[in-house]
Amino acid sequence: MKSLAVLHASQLVTLAGPKRARVGSELSELAIIHDGGMLIRDGAIVATGASAEIEKQARGAEILDAAGRLVLPGFVDAHTHLVFAGKRLDDFERRARGETYEQIASAGGGIWSTVEKTRAATEDDLFAQSKTHAGWFLQGGTTTVEAKSGYGLTLEDELKILRVIRRLTLETPLECVPTFLGAHAVPREHKAPEYLDLVVNEMLPRIVAEKLAEFCDVFYERGYFDLEQSRKVLNAAGQRGLKLRAHVDQLTNSGGAKLAAELRTTTADHLEKTDTEGVKALKSAGVQPVLLPGSVYALGSTAYPRAREMIEAGLALVIATDFNPGSSPTPSMSMVLSLACTQMKMSPAEAITASTINAAYSLNRGDKIGSLEAGKTANFAIFDCEDYRELAYWFGLSQTHAVYAGGQCVFQA
């Protein structure tokens, strides 16, 4: 049995608390232990407490001195498009000159240009590029991500992406939770109805049979999939036993929050344009909002979603990167914490809860990750700062000192 004792953390931010996603004032309760310690055995947390207490139980354990440093559960990033080929530098430059996301997409950039590059890549090529992305997440202290397909848009290419996601979990220290996003855009070679038939009748059955996805997602937006089409995909996926997430109300308020509520999706993501009625609908259906301020920032918009209203309504808020080559090229959860505080008026504590324990529950893993509590997997990050608020306060600076997944060091600055 291999034991590890983390001792003398200036703050051991445990997030210990009720065994469910946190709402309202609970989002501010981080259950911090000052001069904190944590005992780990065989990759799992055995105990947390005052360093002096942990030290007594740590005989024979390897000692990790975290004096002067902050220890946090590994971040859980509940919305990423981690697997894609290439970059979108031309889109980036055009946006800098004032063109919008929609204008760029109709001029041949956007999701479609990444689809072309992703289709052209071999599985090994795509794995190599995605492995680089996985390393970026680990460096920032993220140990679990949700990862969507959606840049293939043919049966074979969607399978290729989902197999790469599976390989990332098996061959890198980053745990990836797979989501099928076949309905991300209508590919050039099809009209929407016939493409949807392909998604529902060919892709979904195959993906479910090969157990390549836990969730199904759709991009419900003007120019992508409409209300009926989105309902059709999500219903079909639900009937096949997948849990649901949905991109809604990002660029237009199209009642997406209400659709998510009607279909009882696990999460409704984006919500930049969601109004009070939409917030109420999410609350009554118990849907978790996943807010993605990185995409608002990178698109040069100021229309951040109404985080405060959602917290006050009692929603179990999640924040995530939306890592993708178009609208949010950042794997950095500390950047997202900064945006949550400065642009959405969340407190640093609320932002940390939303990117750890609440995100873990949204991925159906709240019993295993997202907090530092006995029995959970020893996924944690050590930062070169003393106070958790510094993670959101300094920006554009990496403060990661070391990252552990399953009790093993997977990144060292």
Binder to ligand NIG among 326, 329, 366, 407 (CB under 6 A)?
A: 326
Question: Residue 131 and residue 230: Cα distance in Å, rounded?
Answer: 31
Complex with ligand NIG: residue 266 or 328, whichever CB lies closer: 328
Q: Which of 194, 67, 86 is nearest to 133 (CA)?
A: 86
Count other C-beta atoms under 10 Å from residue 191's C-beta. Answer: 8
Q: Which of 355, 345, 341 is nearest to 394 (CA)?
A: 341
* Residue whose CB is nearest to Fe ion in the complex, by number: 322
Question: Residue 320 and residue 290: Cα distance in Å, rounded?
Answer: 7
CB of 35 to Fe ion, least distance (A): 40
Where does this chain touch ligand NIG (CB under 6 A) — which range of 24-32, 62-70, 320-328, 399-407?
320-328
CB of 228 to ligand NIG, least distance (A): 19
Site for ligand NIG contains 324 (CB under 6 A): yes
Binder to ligand NIG among 137, 180, 215, 219 (CB under 6 A)?
A: 219
Residue 265 touches which of ligand NIG, Fe ion, none (Cβ within 5-8 Å per kind): none
CB of 186 to ligand NIG, least distance (A): 13
Count other C-beta atoms under 10 Å from residue 410's C-beta. Answer: 19
Question: Residue 251 and residue 248: Cα distance in Å, rounded?
Answer: 8
Site for Fe ion contains 146 (CB under 5 A): no
Angle at 202 between CA 197 and CA 205, to 5 degrees: 120
Distance of CA 125 to the CA centre of its chain: 24
Complex with ligand NIG: residue 299 or 313, whichever CB lies closer: 299
Site for Fe ion contains 175 (CB under 5 A): no
Binder to ligand NIG among 11, 266, 274, 327 (CB under 6 A)?
A: 327
Of 308-347, which residues contact Fe ion (CB under 5 A)?
Answer: 322
Binder to ligand NIG among 143, 250, 321, 356 (CB under 6 A)?
A: 250
CB of 62 to ligand NIG, least distance (A): 41
Residues 33 and 16: beta-carbon distance below 8 Å: no
* Residue whose CB is nearest to ligand NIG in the complex, by number: 326
Where does this chain touch ligand NIG (CB under 6 A) — which range of 58-66, 109-117, 352-360, 374-382?
109-117
Dig out the tokens for 144 from the structure. 């679990």
Residue 250 touches which of ligand NIG, Fe ion, none (Cβ within 5-8 Å per kind): ligand NIG
Complex with Fe ion: residue 323 or 411, whichever CB lies closer: 323
Q: Residues 41-80: x/- map of binding to ligand NIG (CB under 6 A)?
A: ----------------------------------------
CB of 220 to ligand NIG, least distance (A): 10
What is the sign, positive or negative, of the torsion defined by CA atoms of 176, 182, 185, 189? positive
Where does this chain touch ligand NIG (CB under 6 A) — which range of 191-199, 257-265, 324-332, 360-368?
324-332
Residue 243 touches which of Fe ion, ligand NIG, none (Cβ within 5-8 Å per kind): none
CB of 326 to ligand NIG, least distance (A): 2
Question: Residue 146 and residue 141: Cα distance in Å, rounded?
Answer: 15
Site for ligand NIG contains 111 (CB under 6 A): yes
Where does this chain touch ligand NIG (CB under 6 A) — which range of 45-53, 169-177, 204-212, 319-327?
319-327
Dig out the tokens for 57 from the structure. 């139980």
Q: How many residues bind ligand NIG (CB under 6 A)?
A: 14
Complex with ligand NIG: residue 256 or 370, whichever CB lies closer: 256
Residue 337 touches which of Fe ion, ligand NIG, none (Cβ within 5-8 Å per kind): none
Site for ligand NIG contains 325 (CB under 6 A): yes
Question: Residue 139 and residue 332: Cα distance in Å, rounded?
Answer: 9
Question: Residue 167 and residue 319: Cα distance in Å, rounded?
Answer: 26
Residues in contact with ligand NIG by CB under 6 A are: 81, 110-111, 114, 219, 247, 250, 295, 322, 324-328
Residues in contact with Fe ion by CB under 5 A are: 322
